[in-house]
Amino acid sequence: MVSLSVALVISVGVGWLIARSSSSSSTTSGTAPESVVIPSNSQFTTPGIGTNAAVSGKPLPTVDVQTLQGDNVSTATLIGHPMVINVWGSTCGPCKHELPAFAKVHASMGDQVRFVGLDYLPPSSDEEKFARDKGVQYELFYDGNGEFISKVGISNFPVTLFVNAKGTIVKQTGQLDEATLTSLIKSELL
């Protein structure tokens, strides 16, 4: 019994020493160091969630996206009318919430503005059905290879791009509701 108690005390002590030495020499355990020294010629930036690149004022990149059937369509062929491009996917919670709003605004303003849904997942009848079940009746394309997302610098979803008839991105937003989407179309595209 005494040897079991001695072994327990030694195990706890060794465990404490290991934990103490690894937390003071490394931050791989997920805990931050108590202090950070920043050289005078540097600036400390707190790590955070990735953000989307600022693309307002830039031309819509020319890349191939795919139809449900897997055919390539160049984004250059989409230019010529004011356009709303909503980048979404069924695995994105906020995307699920905003799709019905996009469907409603398309129903009322689709004759003035071209609506394009761009799914960040590969072409899939499940994705297509998901959007259609939310009321979406506008064009749907797929960026299964990630080329569009990469060229635009998207890291968070959803993203909506407002593109003028000349192909310039005039506004970029995140999740939208029906009223805000309508207001932005009127102020940025019409």
For 107-153, write each residue's pLDDT tens digit: 999 999 999 999 999 999 999 999 999 999 999 999 999 999 999 98
Residue 158 has pLDDT above 50, yes or no: yes
Residues 93, 85: Cα–Cα separation, whole Å:
18
- pLDDT band at 3; cut points 50, 70, 90: low
Task: Tell me whether residue 17 is in a domain.
Answer: no
Domain hosting 107: range is 64-188
Q: What domain count does the chain have?
A: 1
Residue 23 forms part of a structural domain: no
Q: Is 24 contained in some domain? A: no
Query: Is 32 within the bounds of a domain?
Result: no
Q: Domain of 142: which CATH number? A: 3.40.30.10
Nearest to 134 by CA among 165, 183, 180, 97: 97
**Tens of pLDDT, residues 33-67:** 444 454 555 554 444 455 667 777 899 999 999 99
User: For the whole model, what pTM was predicted?
Assistant: 0.72
pLDDT score recorded for residue 145: 92
Q: Is residue 107 part of a domain?
A: yes
Structural domain includes residue 126:
yes
Q: Distance between CA atoms of 93 and 131, rounded to whole angstroms?
A: 13
